[in-house]
Amino acid sequence: MSRIAYVNGRYLRHDDAQVHVEDRGYQFSDGVYEVAAVCRGRVIDEEPHLDRLECSLAELRMDLPLPRSALRLVTREVLRRNRVRDGMVYLQVTRGAAARDHPFPEEAIGAVVLTARPVRWPEAAADDGGVAVVSMPDGRWGRCDVKSVSLLPNVLAKQAAREQGAYEAWFVDAEGRVTEGSSTNAWIVDDAGRVVTRDLESNILGGITRQRVIGLAREAGLEVAERAFTLAEAQAAPEAFLTSTTSFVRGIVSIDGHTVGSGAPGPATVRLRELYLDYCRNGRANR
Ligand code: PDD
């Protein structure tokens, strides 16, 4: 079965799915995107993803290219045509094609691409042995809250991490405080048992998984603090973990070669992973 992509109103085989050479996403990174997980046929947190897409587009002074109802329908159709019940959806919106010139073109029509692919999500919370992260200076632009396709620093950081045998790169700001990972949000559990993740400012992406995990943690009676933490605090913390749409909740067992906690995902991390997996599987999606 060949994969099918949605491109500007048409469903095309992947091999035939193309965008214009002068698409402003290609030439200027003048576009934004969303990635959502699909579990048992449901798009997890679809509405928050669409809310964030609208916020990102607003920063580019663009409107949603299709009404939400149409985007939901296109998503269902792409999932159906690709027979994806467990997997991910990628949605990208750019300012579209125009003769190359920096200011916004008068007449470009936003370009929309939607793809889906199957992914085998983790079966059990205990599946996670934990991963290593390495730190690097955060040299990104000041508007990391916009989910822009301009991901070069993130790509370079992730590649550097992988070359050092780590799963993720943690960005650190000029004050030595962790902002986030190259494609994940960063968390620790502090000595008082509080679950800590950086507060939302323009220097991190407001992760949909982050928000969901905050809610699940509070429902489970865990105290959550949204505040910055330093790299040193994270290295000395009893637990650390990361979250994202595609990584779910994953324990961190090493930061720049320093073992975190016992060297295995800690109890709060495993509990939150369990709660998030359960949330994805058992029908509370789209709330
Ligand atoms: N990345 N921070 C950054 C820089 C990200 O790119 C992402 C997501 C996150 C986590 O956000 P969410 O929980 O909404 O997935 C944090 C996606 C998965 C990606 O680029 O593939």
Residue with CA nearest ligand 1 atom 7: 183
Stretch 176-199: mean pLDDT, rounded?
A: 98
Instruction: Scan for tokens 């550097």, then name that residue.
Output: 160
Q: How far is CA 48 from CA 5, 35, 248, 257, in A?
A: 23, 11, 16, 36
Q: What is the largest CA-CA distance in the chain?
A: 58
Contact 133, 242 (CB under 8 A): yes
Rg (the chain; Cα; Å): 19
pLDDT of residue 211 exceeding 80 = yes
State the pLDDT confidence band at 2, using cuts at 50, 70 and 90: confident
Q: Residue 147 is which amino acid?
A: K
Residue 179, ligand 1, Cβ within 6 A: no
Residue 184 C-alpha to ligand 1 middle, in angstroms? 5
Stretch 172-187: mean pLDDT, rounded?
A: 97
Residue 114 C-alpha to ligand 1 middle, in angstroms? 17
State the pLDDT confidence band at 286, using cuts at 50, 70 and 90: very low
Stretch 224-243: mean pLDDT, rounded?
A: 98
Tell me the pLDDT tens digit for each residue of 240-269: 999 999 999 999 999 999 999 999 999 999
Q: Which residues of 173-208 are buried (b: 16+ CB within 10 A; e: fewer)?
A: eeeebbbbbbbbbbbbbbeeeebbbbeeeebbbbbb
Residue 94, ligand 1, Cβ within 6 A: no
* Top CATH class, 4-118: alpha beta
Residue 244, ligand 1, Cβ within 6 A: yes
Tell me the pLDDT tens digit for each residue of 30-87: 999 999 999 999 999 999 999 999 999 999 999 999 999 999 999 999 999 999 999 9
Residue 208 C-alpha to ligand 1 middle, in angstroms? 8
Count the helices and strands in the chain (H runs, E runs): 7, 15
- The residues carrying an active-site annotation are 147
Domain spanning 125-282: CATH superfamily: D-amino Acid Aminotransferase, subunit A, domain 2 (3.20.10.10)
Residue with CA nearest ligand 1 atom 16: 184
User: How many angstroms separate the CA atoms of 35 and 49, rounded?
Assistant: 8
Mutation to probe ligand 1, out of 46, 50, 184, 250 (largest number of atoms < 8 A from CB):
184
Q: Residue 119 is which amino acid?
A: V
What was the pLDDT predicted at 283? 65
Strands 168-172, 248-255: pairing kind: unpaired
Tell me the pLDDT tens digit for each residue of 88-101: 999 999 999 999 99
Residue 99 C-alpha to ligand 1 middle, in angstroms? 31
Strands 111-118, 4-7: pairing kind: antiparallel
User: Tell me, what DSSP letter sits at residue 272?
Assistant: H
Q: Is 3 left (phi over 0), alpha (psi -120 to 50) or beta?
A: beta
Tell me the pLDDT tens digit for each residue of 100-143: 999 999 988 999 999 999 999 998 888 999 999 999 999 999 99
Index of the ligand 1 atom closest to the CA of residue 154: 4
Stretch 175-183: mean pLDDT, rounded?
A: 97
User: How many angstroms separate the CA atoms of 38 and 29, rounded?
Assistant: 26
Residue 180, ligand 1, Cβ within 6 A: yes
Residue 246, ligand 1, Cβ within 6 A: yes
The token pair at 103 is 């200011």
Residue 1 C-alpha to ligand 1 middle, in angstroms? 29
Index of the ligand 1 atom closest to the CA of residue 247: 18
What was the pLDDT predicted at 284? 57
Distance of CA 18 to the CA centre of its chain: 24
What was the pLDDT predicted at 108? 81
Residue 250, ligand 1, Cβ within 6 A: no
Mutation to probe ligand 1, out of 92, 185, 247 (largest number of atoms < 8 A from CB):
185
Tell me the pLDDT tens digit for each residue of 156-169: 999 999 999 999 99
Please report which helix (H) or strand (E) contains residue 282, including its range.
none
Contact 128, 55 (CB under 8 A): no
What was the pLDDT predicted at 176? 96
Q: What are the boundaries of each domain within the chain?
A: 4-118, 125-282
